[in-house]
Structure formats: structure tokens, C-alpha cells
Structure 1
Amino acid sequence: MAAQVTEADLVVARPFALGVDEVARELRSDERGLTTDDAVSRLQLVGRNELPEPKRKPAIVRFLAHFNDTLIYILIAAAVIKAVMGDWLDFWVIMAVAIINAIVGYIQEGRAEKALAGIRGMLSADASARRDGGWATVPAAELVPGDVIRLMPGDKVPADVRLIQAFQLRIDESALTGESVPASKEVDPVAAEAGVGDRSSMAFSGTIVSAGQGRGIVTSTGTTTEIGKIQSLADEAGSLATPLTQQLDSFGRVLTVVILGMAAVMLLIGRFLHQMPFDELISAAIGFAVAAIPEGLPALVTITLALGVQQMARRNAITRKLPAVEALGSVTTVCSDKTGTLTKNEMTVRRIVTPIAAYDVTGLGYDPAGEIRPVGDARVGGDLTAVLAVALLCNDAHIVRGGPSTGSGQALWQLVGEPTEGALKVVAMKGRLDAGGSTRVGVIPFDSANKFMATLNQGADGSRAILVKGAPDRLLERSATQRGAAGAESLDIVRWEAVIDELSAQGLRVLAAARKPVPASVDGIGIDDLEGLEFLGVWGIVDPPRPEAIDAIADCHTAGIKVKMITGDHAGTALAIGREMGLVRGEDVRVLTGADLEALTQEQLKEVVRDVDVYARTSPEHKIRIVRALQSHGEVVAMTGDGVNDAPALTRANVGIAMGIKGTEATKEAAEVVLADDNFATIRSAIAEGRRIYDNLRKSIVFLLPTNGAQSLVILVAVVFGLTLPLTSVQVLWVNMVTAVTLSLALAYEPAEKGIMTRPPRRTGGPIINGSELAFVLIVSVVIGGATMGVFYGVNAAGVDVAYARTEAVLMLALGQLAYLLNCRFMSRSSITGDVFRGNRMIWISAGALIVLQLIFTYVPVMNTLFESEPLAAASWILPVVLSIAIFFIVEVLKAVFRRRR
């Protein structure tokens, strides 16, 4: 390859119509790929292999969007009226409240966008590229024209690629061409005028490998790819318009009508019944409207959801679409894959059975330390060697030293490849078997439809044989003989079926081995060649359950959440693992297999789906049927998946959960949540977090409404009865402003309540607060508002001037809300506990900030001028503090009454 290239050298016109050698020559590359230095220099020329981010709205537009709320409109209208009246102090105080709310929302929106951008980075694809003569995993964004990459089933093609090898390669190009059927690929060039859908020698960026294997040379990256020309990067972060925020929008519109209606009634009563001065009446009406508006609610919802997303990410549950935050809290059924999610995905061969003998295998994981021991009086012979040869040669996995060191200083062994193939490679290493000069001539890659893999191998002596491994039933039906002590003998199907059932009942996954000698002239294999095989034996492979997953399933059951295992394994294996995981108990347990599902109509499946917890030998189509059947009963279903074919089921589920480690890019894009550790225990944690987030939103709303209700009630009662106003409009705005930046945010940081995973899932839908909660809010509003009026009118009647009495009333209102905040920490149990002082330091930070701001309001001269307040004597703090304590206990009694009613 030439040491230096220009950008023009990296552009190939119609690579699909050129031969492989010609394309490689044009790109100054070959099948050995690029060196790291070449790749770096080319990356500087062509840029990163990324599509541009969507254009963002200007910052000023995004800021102004936070004023687009019905409740904020009332605030702005009130400010305009004040400006017309020449009351500029009140105008600026009202506008300050609206602006502070917008600033908080804008800042938090930016934080949420940064968090979600980080999530996009975590989900970015990697590619397997040939660099410096060896295969390496590199970020897809760093691929350049001339790179040689390889493709496996489920991979998302990372760039436009001219294929140089294709083994039964089929690619889903629906994202590009709209064709629903995967396109078959080959190496031969096509006509220069061929359309995109007919370019069978190309693999295009953004498409998904459905089956087979392939290699190719990257011809285009980034915006120069076919898909880059016709689409921009999708925004994967989702929208904040969750069902909950829609409920809040609806609630805001209803509240607006109520506030305006009550303000109008108040104006009429004050004017015609009490003949109040017009200017004073307008100020009172504006004060009432401002007091009644929970203007901090939109920002509060945004902050709570964003904090929840960040907390989930810290627990390895990456939320890609924010509606999932709410949906997770109401999940009633989790449908989970087995391998790697419920189990450790560290496959280990435990038993080998040949036509002659049985062998036990010692050792764990991918460390080749261990032995193969004959069972009984049997001796190690050629039968074992033949099975191990298939394990070693019909295999694409590699076991390498690497990773962190153990306490003894020995490096750990790591798997490069599939876990099952890793287990077979390790057992061959335990049998001290080596390739012995054998080379691979051809291959039929594993395919989910065939459930086997085959290779054509040539030995050191020039002889050739087809080696096959795969599902026992598939190999038995293609075998004519088995390897006996004296050579080939009749296949004993009955015995093998018994062996398979016995191993499966022990929770072992069973794979079979077979071979077929072929003439030395055979240089390729196809499916039709796999007939008349010689059956060699089976392996019994175990994938140990994750201990934390067993605990998580028990927690889900306690929380009223059903867990169903859906696996492609044998029914016996699935049932044995199900018992060990605690999914099923007792002897009379029903397992539905794929064949059973095929025999059931959808209506019949609906009748039994809730009673079956283990599904075996299933296909992706069966998963969709199971999800639909569960949803027909009103179940909220979370579905896990990792393969490209799982994407439809994840899309159909209420919450799609993709595996972050072994999951394909297609699955991650279809999911709402991605597990960074592929661990079922993380699902349990995510559900608990979803419940916590929803609890905190409800707590925040139940806290916020009475604070506004108390303020508006004080003004309403004074006007209706023709009394002196306990609060001016600017003093109401002061209380709103200081609580908005202190107390109202504290509950967003509230930890999960005790027993959050011992109660049943919440029901979805319905109003944001029900009738019982509305009654609770109104009573609390009366309690806090009554205490505030009691302080004002009591102090004023004692001969203190109005400004002093109003200052003490403001203090009473602020401290009353602080006391009520402690009540709201635990809505489902009593707050009269030491726990109310622990667990959320933001409570005390916000309380301290409120006290400091209230001291400034009371004692700083300029604040006395702006807000018509007066310094209070130390003794004047006693009554508000005592009444605040009384409010706390009154609300606790009220909570107990409502708990009993529920």
C-alpha cells in the first residue's frame, strides 16, 4: 500500500460494479486491511464515520419555550396589568418568578440533553476491522475507506462495504430500500446501472445482517454512504412529553379555568359587596392568581425525570426513551431471556456422552485447567478424540490470556466469540487436543433456522471431512450411523433421545457432534451435503444461574410482578433452570414449547398465558404472541432481548429492554432501556427506580398544591369577608419564589420508601390526583392557610401594625410549608419517625436556604422597602414555629385517617 493518499484516492465510483481486486487497488488496500498509521491519516482526510447531529433550535428559542405554559401565561398577564397600573415593583417581582422558572427549566434541559448525549455515546456501535495484520474491535466512527471488516448475524453494518467474502450472507436493507425480505449477498460484481436494491455485492451502512457471515472493504463512510445521503441522524433520546406530563398539562388547563373563575367571583364580591377600591381589588385578584398558580410544576417534573434517568444509568439501566421511566413503575410482568440475563453466560461442558462411554469434565469457566474423566470402567479412546476434534475445529471462538490478574499473579482466560463455542474450545484444550495441521476449507455458519454449523476440514495427510455441531435433533435426523467401538454401526435413536432427556433434566444444554468423510477433491460444502452423517456424541453444557438474579426474581414476586422465562433451549433444560431460579415450584409444572404455541390459536394462548412461566424452544414470532396475549389481560409487559429478531417483540412490549453487552444495535434501537451489564437484577433495580420516580412526582405534586392553595385561600377569604389582606401580592410572590428554588425541589431527591418492592404495581391512566387526594390537598390548604390567617389577625388585633403582622404571616406560611414538606416525605406511612430526619440531605439544604432567605426578607433594610416587611422581634418567631409543629402533627393525623379509608 502506498504510504500517502489524498482524499480523492479514497473515492471509488460504482464499487459494486468493479471486481474485488480493482476496488482494493483503487482504495490502496488489500484483504490484509490497513495499518493503524494508515487509518489515522485517512481519518484526518475523510472525517469520522458519523452522520451529523440534528440542527438544534437556537438557545433563545429553547429558553422562550419554557414560557409556553398556560399557567405562566396568567403570570405574564398579571405582570402586564401591573405595568399598565404603573406598579413597577410588583411587575418586576412577578416577571422574576416567571424568569427564574424558565432559567431552572432551561438549565435542567441542557443537563438532560448532555446525559442523553452520553447515552448515545454508550450505545455507539463497534466494528471488527483488520488492522496491522490482525482483527481488532474499533469504534465504528473511526472506520475509513480501505478498512477490511467482518460481518456476523445481528451486526449493524457500520459503513458502505464492498464484499470480498460472503457465506450465505443475507442482510435486512429495509431501512434503506423498504424491502421487507432480507437481500442475499454475493461477491461477484453487478451491472453499473443496478439500483441500490440490486447491488448484491455491497453491504450498506445502517442495515442489519440477518444471517451468514461476510467480509468486505469499506468504500464510503459518514455522509457519503447511501443512507447518509437520504437521512439525518435520528434523535434517540425520546421526548419529555410522557403520559404523566400530558396529565399535568391537562391538569394545568383545568386549574387555569378554576383560578380565573374564582378571581372573577372574588372581584365581583369585593367590588359590589364590600365596595373595595378598584386598585386594591385588582392587586388582590392578581395576588390570588399568582398565589394559586403552581408555576414551578413543569420544571419540577423535568428535574425529577432527569434525575431518575441519571440514577438508572448509575445502576446500569440506560434509559433511551423517557416514557419508560414512568412505565417501569407499573410493570406487572417481565418476560426474560435466559442466557446471560438470568444466567452468567459462562458456559462450561460438564458431561460428554459418546456411543461407547460417558465422561465427566472438571473445571469452571474459560480456564482450560481441568480434566476429562471416564465414568465407571470406561477408558479414554478414539471416541472422545473424535468428539473433541469437532469441538476444536468446527468452532470460531478463541480462548486467550488477558484481563486482570488473579491473586496468584496468573492472567485470566478470556473468550473471544460465542459462549457455547468457548465452552467447546475449552473442553478440547482440557483434552490436550490440538489442530494437528488441520485447515478449514469451507464453512456453513450457524443459522437459527438450521441450528447447526458445519466446516470442511483438511487434515495434515490431505484427507478431508465435514465436521458438524448443533442441535441434537437436527443432527440425528441427518445421521445414518454412529461411531461404535468397532467403527460405524446403526444409529440408536431411542438411546440418544433418552440421553438427551436425561442431560436436559439436569439443567444441561445439549449439543451434538457428527462428521462425514469426503473425497479430497471436494472443495466446498452446502446444506445438501449434510446427509448420511456419522453421529459422534453429545456435550452437556451448563450455564450457571446468577445468584443475584435468583434474589431479584424473588423480589419481583414479592412486588406482585410475574417473571416468565422465554428461551430457545430444550424444555427439560428450561424447566430445570426455572426450578433453580425459583421461577416455578412443585412437580406439576406446565412448560409450553414452540411446537405447543404453534398448535394454539391466539385465543387459546390468552387462556393459559398467565399460568405458564417457562417457554422453551421458542422463536421471535412466539415472543410477540406471548406479549400480545399478556397485554390482552391488561398486563404491563417488559420484554428483554438481544438478537436482531427480538426487535419486533421489544417494540410490541410496554417496555423493551435490550442487552447492552451481547445485544445487537438493532435491538438497542428498538428498546426503551438498555442494560449495561446484561443482568436481570438490573431490571429489578430499574423497576424499583421507576416506582421511586413516580412516587416522588406524586409527592411533589401533593406538596406543591396545598402550598399554593393556602396562599390563595388567605387572599380569597380576606376579600370575600371584606377583611384586611394578610399578604400583599409581592409577598405572595416572595413566598412562591423562595419555595420554588428551595423546598419544591427537595422531594425530587427523595430515596425510595421502605417496602417499595413489596406492594403491587400501580395502575396506569386516570387523573394525576384522585378524589381522595384532592380532598387531602384541600384540607391541608385550609390548615396551613388557617394558621397563616390566625397569626396575622391575632397579631394585628394585639395592636401591632399591618406591615409587622404581614411579615409574621409570611414567616408562618414559609415555616408551615417546611413542616408540610416533612409530612410529604412518607405518604404511605407516618412521618413521626426518626427516618424523617435521615436519607435526603437536600431536605436540610433547602430548609437551610429557606431560613436564610427568610432572614434576609425580614431583617435586610432594602428587602423591607421592596416587600413592605418589618424586622421581627425574636419572640415573634415563637408562634409561627409552634404552629408549624402543630401543622406537622395535624397533617399526620389526617394522613392516618386517609390511610384507614384506603
Structure 2
Amino acid sequence: MAASAASATDFAVDRPYALSAHEVERALRTDGDGLSSDEAAARLDAVGPNLLPEPERTPAWRRFLSHFNDTLIYILLGAAAIKAVMGDWLDFWVIMAVAVINAVIGFVQEGRAEKALAGIRGMLSADATARRSGAWTTIPAADLVPGDLVRLAPGDKVPADLRLTSVAQLRIEEAALTGESVPSSKEVGAVSEDAGVGDRASMAFSGTIVSAGQGSGIVTATGENTEIGKIQALVGAAGSLTTPLTKQLDAFGRVLTLVILGMAAVMMLIGRYLHDMPLPELISATIGFAVAAIPEGLPALVTITLAIGVQQMARRNAITRKLPAVEALGSVTTVCSDKTGTLTKNEMTVRTMVTPVARYEVSGLGYDPTGEITPAGGGDLAALLAVADLCNDAHLDESESGGWTLVGEPTEGALKVVAMKGGAVDTRAQRIGVVPFDSAYKFMATLVEAPDGSRAILVKGAPDRLLERSLTQRGADGSEPLNIAFWEGAIDDLSAQGLRVLAAARKATRAGDVTVDDLVDLEFLGLWGIVDPPRPEAIEAIADCHAAGIDVKMITGDHAGTALAISREMGLVSGDDAPVLTGAELEAMSQDELAKVVQDVDVYARTSPEHKIRIVRALQSRGEVVAMTGDGVNDAPALTRADVGIAMGIKGTEATKEAAEIVLADDNFATIRSAIREGRRIYDNLRKSVVFLLPTNGAQSLVILVAVVFGLTLPLTPVQVLWVNMVTAVTLSLALAYEPAEPGIMRRPPRGSGGSIVGGRELGFVLLVSLLIGGATLAVFGISLASGTDLAVARTEAVTMLALGQLAYLLNCRFLTRSSLTFDVFRGNPAIGWSALALIVLQLVYAYAPFMNSLFGSEPLTITGWLLPIAFSIGIFLAVEVLKAMRRAGDKSADTATLYASA
């Protein structure tokens, strides 16, 4: 087939990692000279450029209008339409401003999926070194095609998926793709067909970075067909879920709409058929009732409360990119966490050393050389530490602030640190020769000359490879025969603890150079047990999450043994028989089978991006509200799918940050615990605010309803209704957003994600409070008129009664589950005092400022005119406390009945 007539499928190779390099060359019709320029151009026409496709973008105007597609916004727009019909244009523009501001905030916050895809596209290499027509040349990475031969050097970003054809100590940093905390060593040989991405040593993947060595490979996939391209497709297909708060507000809005329409219909029937009111007058009164009943301040209240929560979470190193995620954290039932860098420090640390003489434990974490080796060692330990120091290419830099930064590979950094802890750093020794690390040999060697002129070959590497080349071991009295059984037992013991095991050996020599052939008849010195240590604060945070009824699951690219050992140490699981599900086992399961076991498994190992999404979906199918953490681009699809995506701010990729709702500024799991606590507090306060706000509308609508039903003079005009709504929403409602957390907030189980934000019992409570405040307002209005005051003065007293009644009720709402008859009601939240002061000042302006008298039809009040509203407000406070006490007594009776029933 001519290349010019070819299609993209003609250049697709299935499982190239499981084929030999020669088989891949033959399948892609290429050789060691690479493609000709004409052939490459023809293939480029067939497969397209090596770029990730741009997502289909929704027009900005449509995205903006989508923020009006909300039940509460419908109510708000309905109120504005009613105001326009009534000709109250001031009220109309105020209500419309609230709706537009809400939409603008949502519009600015949105777009995470599109930005995530843009972040992934930004990971691709800009250019590549390819062999074209027998010569090496630098070309744009976008021009690469399957069959191109590409060369890799340290620091290069791999430009496409490559089947490696030659390697020289090639190691590639693949953490962003696989989650592995150390660079992956590459080799030319084929691997198993069922090997996961992290085990495909014969491949180099687009977007990863060459950390050491050199190599070359044949391009097997470009653009959307690469592994990173598949992840982009997963991000686009993952879909996002509505948050629990969004669901609850929608449910609440629907119920509220039905209640308002139902009551309006009843009022019209009563007015028409009981009092035979004229139809135009009845319609006008009904519209006034609907305006009074609609809580137009609720969307703004929710938005502002969440915005305040965003600011407070930012102070705790949790940066929120999407407002509803603040509250969604409070309903999380399961946290799926990456291991490296989140639960652990992502700083390799030597924890244990074994010599033929003794076993040594090492304290301290990470790259800070502060720590001790116990017990204090002798000559056996000194030889082991000398290899850690001198057979090493890494070094540590201390910053002015006292922190330490590694320059080099994490494993070598860990060895350098343990040498510093043991005081074994020797700046006088001189390196004469080196055998670089090679994945084929799995060891590194240096030829070192001491100040006295003696020379030795120092070797570090895989224990099995060094044992094969060793003849003796360093004992207490010098050299002794090698004890293979002892070392195999020590290796198994360290591996069972989840430690990465490296070995050290040495050989005295007088040679002037060193080669692989010289590395025989070595003296075996000992072992290092290396681990990426758990964050101490993460261990405590996991315990707190368990106490709060939140499951924590670790999903990692590490091997099952390492994952289980770390999870035991962190308190995620207990015992050696805790279930671990590997990517290969998960691959063999259907989604239904996974859903049956997903809640019982807390450790997942050797996972791929597809596996992470499947785990999240399985948990969600069981009713779990899932928070997912991640830092690599491989985590972006699962973060998009999760109820709350949490990205690492320090070590996370841009794609991951853009896919997440929350970014951790300190990459610390303990911050997630704090954010969940903050989310619960915010939800509590939001609920308090809604329960507080609704009686304002309930009392106002009740006053109008009673007036219509009994044929009385309206105690409030529509513009006065708007004033009360505005003044209480702007002052008192926001005060509850600053309430501190309730006692024991992290010792209670997560709330259910369904239902309404205000349940049936709270709605009944709201109606009773509405009756109290509405009844008090009618009483004040009636008493004022009966005493001979003008209608305007009586209405001003009624408005004052509503405002002061809400202020009294605010104190009741501070403690919904306990009594407010305590001095604590005046402490702990300075916003309460300031908002109360603001309300009183605004009410004084309302009553005494001439322009307000003209605008709202108010009149100045005498001292007597204030006494009645104040007295009734105190009575409301006490009456509500009685209602709260009755609720608490009912809750205790229900709990007792449940206890006896279960017994």
C-alpha cells in the first residue's frame, strides 16, 4: 500500500511494549535510518499532527446564561417580573442585580474541564530530535509520526510514545503519569502483554521527562493516541457531578415554590369567595403576598456565605476554585488519596541498615540531615556509610531559611542524608573512575582514592546482583565467608515492611580505572531499607477522619507490598491480612463486581488512570460522596469525576490543579482533614442562615395573608417588604456565616447527601417562628392603630417589630441544638454584635431620615413607639427557646425509643 493512500489505522501497533524492537520496526515499516522526508509528510497527512485536540468550547454567552438555570434564580426572576408588572422599577433593578451578580460569580469560577485539558496539552514537548533521511535533525514535536526514530537525552521531555530501541542507563521521571515516586529504569527487552503503564520498561511516554542516561526509540503513537492523550479523553468523558448543596438547594427551591403557589391560590380563593373582593384588588394583594414570601436574598446569602468560607479555608492552605466545593467537603464520606507526596513526604529516607554485625535504626525524615543512628556503629557501619557517601551523584543544598533541597535522584539523596547523619561525609576522597548505573546490571560503582593513597571500588545496587558478585562479607573481625541465607532473610524482612532495599559492597584495588568486569569477588557490606516516610500529621488526620465516619482509601502506583506496609503504618488498615486490590485484579472485574467490594478495600496498588475513575464511580454507585486527591496528570480524570477534586499545589501538575475544585497549598493530607471540618462548619452555618432568613419572609407573607383573609388594612406596603428583606439579609443573615464550629463537629458521621437543606422538622420550626413574629407584628400594628396613631406610624412600628424580632431570633439561631439562654450567646462571634449595631443604625435611618420617609413611607417614632416592638422581641426570644427545648426533649425521647427497640 502506498503511504500516500494510507490511513491512521495503518500505523497503529497493538501492545508495542510486548513486541521486540525489530518487530515494531517491521510493523511500522522503518529502520535505523528513520523515515524519509517524503514518507514522514505522507504519514503526517494520514495520522494528523502530534497534538492533543482542542475541546469543543461552549460560547461564553451560553455559559453565562446557564447560571440562571436554577430553581431559586427562577423564583428571583419571577419576583423581578412581578415588580416590573407592578411598576416598582427600583425593586425590579435591585432584584435583577442580585441575580446578575450571582451569575457573574459562577461564570468567573467555572471552566475547570476546559482548563484541565489545556493544562494537559501544555505538558507536550515543543520539539524533538528525530532521524530523517539518515541524519539527525531537530523538528517540531507536532510533526512527529509513527515510525519516526527519536533520540532522548537528560532533561528532554519525551515528545511522543516511543518503543525504545537502545538505552544507556536511561531513567525517566514518570510520576505525573504513573504516580511512581522514583524514576523508572528503561530497557530494550519486551515485557508482558498484561503489564501496566508503570511496568512497561520498554516504552517512553509522551510528556514524561528524562532524568538520566540516553536512549532512542520508534514513535508508536502520537497526539490523542498516546497515553497522555487517552487521559485527556478520560478527562473530557469523566463528567462532573452536582454537589450535595446544589441538589439540596434545588429540592428546597422546588418545595418553596410549591408552598408559595399553593398559599397564593388559597388566599385568592378565600378573598374571592369568602370576602367577594374585586378581582384586580385581589390579584394585586396576591402579587404582594408572593413578593413577601419569595426569599430573594437567599441566593446572595448562599453565595456570600460560601465566599466567606473560601477566604477562611485559604488561611488553612486550602485554595478553593469552585464555590460549592466548600460545602461539598462537609458531606464527604470517602477520601481517595494518592500516596506519594500527600500521605507521604515524597522524600526518600533510609529507615533501617543491616550489616553482618548488627541492625541499625535511623531517625529523622526527608532530606533534613538531622537524626540519629542507633545503636552507635563501629567499623561495619562506617564502611556502609562510606559507600552511601562516595558511590553517589546526588548532593544537598541548604537554604538560608534552614531547609534542604536535593539535587539528584531521591534514592541517592536518601543515602547522602544517612551518610551525613552518621558523620561519614568525606570531602578529601577523590573519585577516579565510575561505572554508571545501568538497568541491565542494576548497580553503580565508583573507584575512590583515600587521602593515604589507598584505593577501593565502592558498589551500590540491587541486593541480588551484588550477592551474585560477592565472595565475602564484612564481619566483626574483618572479612568472613558470605552468608547467603542470612542476607536473603534480611532482604525479605525489609521488603515485607514496604522498604525499598539496596545493598553495598566494596573491593580493595590498585587499578587506575574500573569496569564492570572488575566487579567480582566483592566484600558484601550490608543493606539499606529506604522508604518514602508517612507524614506524621497525616497519620493523625486519618485517625480524625475515621472518628468522623469518613473512610480513607489509598490509591497508588506502588507495588502491593509497599502500599500495604505504608497503609498499616498510617493506620489506614490493621493486620497483615487487609485486602489489597491491584490494577491487574481490578482489570479482571466488571464494574458491578467492583462496586460490591469497593467499600471493603482501603488499599489499591499498581493502578492506572482508568482504574481510578472506576473506583470513584463504584464508590458513588454505593451512595458515597467522594473526595479524590492527586498531583500527576494521571489523576486529572478521577479528580474531574469525583464529587470534590483536590490537587496538590506544590508538586501537582497544572492539568491536575485545573481539574480540581480545591488546591492544597502545602500538599498535606492533614489540610484535607481541616478543609472537611471547615466544610462541615460552613454547611452548619449555611443551614442556620437559611433557618434564620425564612421566618422573615414567612412572617411578612403571614401578615399580608391574614390582612387579606380578614379584610384588614395591609400592615406593610410592598416597598416596606423589600426593605425588611434587604436589611435583615445584608446585616443579620451574614453574621451567622462567621459562627465557630459546633462542639464535636468531627465526631459525628457525615450527613446524607439527599433531601432538602431544610428538613421537615426545621420547616415546621420555621413556620412556628413565622407565626410568632408575624403575630407580634400584627399585634403591634393593631395596638398602634387602636391608640390613635397614623397609618404610616403604625406601619413603621410594624417594620421595626419585624426587624427587632429577627434580631432576637438571630440569637436563638446561634445554637439550634442547645439553649441560647446563656452568656455564650454574646461571645465567640464578633460579627453578631456588629450586625446588630448595623441593623439598629439602619432602622434609625429608616425611621428618622427624611429621604427614607419619602422613599419608604415611614414616619419618625416616639420613645413609646419603640417600647412595644422591644417588649415583643424579648417575648419572641423566650418563646423560641421554649420551642427549642421541646425539640430537644423530643429528640431524646426518639433516641431512647430507638435504643430500646434495638435492645
Give the TM-score normalised by structure 2.
0.70
Distance 1:419 1:75 in 2: 57
- Identity, in percent, stands at 59
For residue 99 of structure 1, what is the aligned residue in structure 2?
96
> Displacement of 1:707 after TM fit?
1.6
Q: 1:685 aligned to 2:674?
A: yes
- Range that drifts further, 396-405 or 866-875: 396-405
Distance 1:105 1:856 in 2: 28
What is the DSSP-based 3-state SS (H/G/I as helix, E as strand, rest coil) of the residue aligned with 1:741? Answer: helix
User: Is the 8 Å Cα contact of residues 360 and 375 (structure 1) preserved in structure 2?
Assistant: no
What is the DSSP-based 3-state SS (H/G/I as helix, E as strand, rest coil) of the residue aligned with 2:488? Answer: helix
Q: 1:512 aligned to 2:512?
A: no
Cα gap change, 1:246 to 1:652, in 2 (>3 Å): closer
For residue 876 of structure 1, what is the aligned residue in structure 2?
865
Letter in 1 for 2:766: V
For residue 292 of structure 1, what is the aligned residue in structure 2?
293
Distance 1:845 1:723 in 2: 37
Q: 1:559 aligned to 2:552?
A: no
Distance 1:775 1:643 in 2: 49
Q: 1:270 aligned to 2:256?
A: no
Distance 1:870 1:269 in 2: 33
For residue 788 of structure 1, what is the aligned residue in structure 2?
777
Q: 1:432 aligned to 2:425?
A: yes
For residue 684 of structure 2, what is the aligned residue in structure 1?
695
> Displacement of 1:871 after TM fit?
1.6
For residue 832 of structure 1, what is the aligned residue in structure 2?
821
Cα gap change, 1:693 to 1:75, in 2 (>3 Å): closer
Letter in 1 for 2:704: I
Cα gap change, 1:81 to 1:395, in 2 (>3 Å): same
For residue 676 of structure 1, what is the aligned residue in structure 2?
665
User: Is the 8 Å Cα contact of residues 461 and 504 (structure 2) preserved in structure 1?
Assistant: yes
> Displacement of 1:681 after TM fit?
1.8
Distance 1:185 1:68 in 2: 55
Within-5 A mapping of 1:480-629 = 483=473, 492-498=484-490, 501=493, 509-513=499-503, 536-541=525-530, 546-563=535-552, 568=558, 578=568, 589-592=575-578, 615=603, 618-620=605-607
Within-5 A mapping of 1:437-476 = 437-438=431-432, 440=434, 442-444=436-438, 454-455=443-444, 467-469=459-461
Cα gap change, 1:596 to 1:80, in 2 (>3 Å): closer
What is the DSSP-based 3-state SS (H/G/I as helix, E as strand, rest coil) of the residue aligned with 2:431? Answer: coil
Letter in 1 for 2:425: R
> Displacement of 1:160 after TM fit?
13
User: Is the 8 Å Cα contact of residues 317 and 666 (structure 2) preserved in structure 1?
Assistant: yes
Q: 1:759 aligned to 2:748?
A: yes
Letter in 2 for 1:425: K
User: Is the 8 Å Cα contact of residues 388 and 433 (structure 1) preserved in structure 2?
Assistant: no
Letter in 1 for 2:607: P
Within-5 A mapping of 1:677-826 = 677-826=666-815
Letter in 2 for 1:319: T
Distance 1:455 1:355 in 2: 22
Distance 1:273 1:846 in 2: 43
Gap regions ≥5 residues in structure 1: 1-15, 21-49, 130-147, 176-181, 187-199, 217-225, 406-411
> Displacement of 1:167 after TM fit?
5.8
- Range that drifts further, 111-120 or 68-77: 111-120
Distance 2:71 2:612 in 1: 44
User: Is the 8 Å Cα contact of residues 491 and 535 (structure 1) preserved in structure 2?
Assistant: no
Distance 2:708 2:90 in 1: 22
> Displacement of 1:869 after TM fit?
2.1
For residue 41 of structure 2, what is the aligned residue in structure 1?
none
Corresponding residue to 2:394 among 393, 397, 401: 397
User: Is the 8 Å Cα contact of residues 472 and 524 (structure 2) preserved in structure 1?
Assistant: yes
1:738-794, Cα deviation, whole Å (9 max, x unpaired): 223323333333332222112111111223332222222222221211111121122
> Displacement of 1:288 after TM fit?
0.5
> Displacement of 1:723 after TM fit?
1.9
- Range that drifts further, 868-877 or 835-844: 835-844
Letter in 2 for 1:592: A
What is the DSSP-based 3-state SS (H/G/I as helix, E as strand, rest coil) of the residue aligned with 1:352? Answer: strand
Distance 2:438 2:763 in 1: 66
What is the DSSP-based 3-state SS (H/G/I as helix, E as strand, rest coil) of the residue aligned with 2:860? Answer: coil
User: Is the 8 Å Cα contact of residues 564 and 580 (structure 2) preserved in structure 1?
Assistant: no
Distance 1:837 1:465 in 2: 75
> Displacement of 1:510 after TM fit?
5.0
Distance 2:117 2:828 in 1: 32
Distance 2:345 2:321 in 1: 25
For residue 414 of structure 2, what is the aligned residue in structure 1?
423
Distance 2:102 2:843 in 1: 24
Letter in 1 for 2:413: G
User: Is the 8 Å Cα contact of residues 169 and 436 (structure 2) preserved in structure 1?
Assistant: no
> Displacement of 1:307 after TM fit?
2.8
Cα gap change, 1:149 to 1:794, in 2 (>3 Å): farther
User: Is the 8 Å Cα contact of residues 642 and 663 (structure 1) preserved in structure 2?
Assistant: yes
For residue 301 of structure 1, what is the aligned residue in structure 2?
302
Distance 1:583 1:82 in 2: 58
User: Is the 8 Å Cα contact of residues 613 and 637 (structure 2) preserved in structure 1?
Assistant: yes
1:67-120, Cα deviation, whole Å (9 max, x unpaired): 666666666666666666xx64xx123214313423653675588589999999
Distance 1:455 1:722 in 2: 97
For residue 43 of structure 2, what is the aligned residue in structure 1?
none
Cα gap change, 1:608 to 1:284, in 2 (>3 Å): closer
> Displacement of 1:571 after TM fit?
5.6
Distance 2:204 2:257 in 1: 59
> Displacement of 1:364 after TM fit?
7.2
User: Is the 8 Å Cα contact of residues 456 and 464 (structure 1) preserved in structure 2?
Assistant: no
Corresponding residue to 1:844 among 810, 830, 833: 833
> Displacement of 1:491 after TM fit?
5.5
User: Is the 8 Å Cα contact of residues 581 and 601 (structure 2) preserved in structure 1?
Assistant: no
Letter in 2 for 1:391: A
1:95-146, Cα deviation, whole Å (9 max, x unpaired): 14313423653675588589999999999999999xxxxxxxxxxxxxxxxx
Letter in 2 for 1:416: V
For residue 354 of structure 2, what is the aligned residue in structure 1?
353
1:232-271, Cα deviation, whole Å (9 max, x unpaired): 9x999x9996342244234334433443343244234323
Cα gap change, 1:822 to 1:111, in 2 (>3 Å): farther
Distance 2:690 2:364 in 1: 57
Cα gap change, 1:388 to 1:565, in 2 (>3 Å): same
What is the DSSP-based 3-state SS (H/G/I as helix, E as strand, rest coil) of the residue aligned with 1:399? Answer: strand
Letter in 1 for 2:791: V
Distance 1:384 1:883 in 2: 84
Distance 1:533 1:672 in 2: 55
Distance 2:618 2:205 in 1: 37
Cα gap change, 1:70 to 1:490, in 2 (>3 Å): closer
Give the TM-score normalised by structure 1.
0.70
What is the DSSP-based 3-state SS (H/G/I as helix, E as strand, rest coil) of the residue aligned with 1:828? Answer: coil
> Displacement of 1:682 after TM fit?
1.0
Cα gap change, 1:628 to 1:722, in 2 (>3 Å): closer
Cα gap change, 1:803 to 1:371, in 2 (>3 Å): closer
Distance 1:482 1:657 in 2: 52
> Displacement of 1:539 after TM fit?
1.4
Cα gap change, 1:544 to 1:766, in 2 (>3 Å): same
> Displacement of 1:882 after TM fit?
1.7
What is the DSSP-based 3-state SS (H/G/I as helix, E as strand, rest coil) of the residue aligned with 1:432? Answer: coil
What is the DSSP-based 3-state SS (H/G/I as helix, E as strand, rest coil) of the residue aligned with 2:400? Answer: strand
Cα RMSD after superposing both structures:
6.0
User: Is the 8 Å Cα contact of residues 627 and 652 (structure 1) preserved in structure 2?
Assistant: yes
Q: 1:887 aligned to 2:888?
A: no
Cα gap change, 1:689 to 1:114, in 2 (>3 Å): farther
Distance 1:732 1:362 in 2: 68
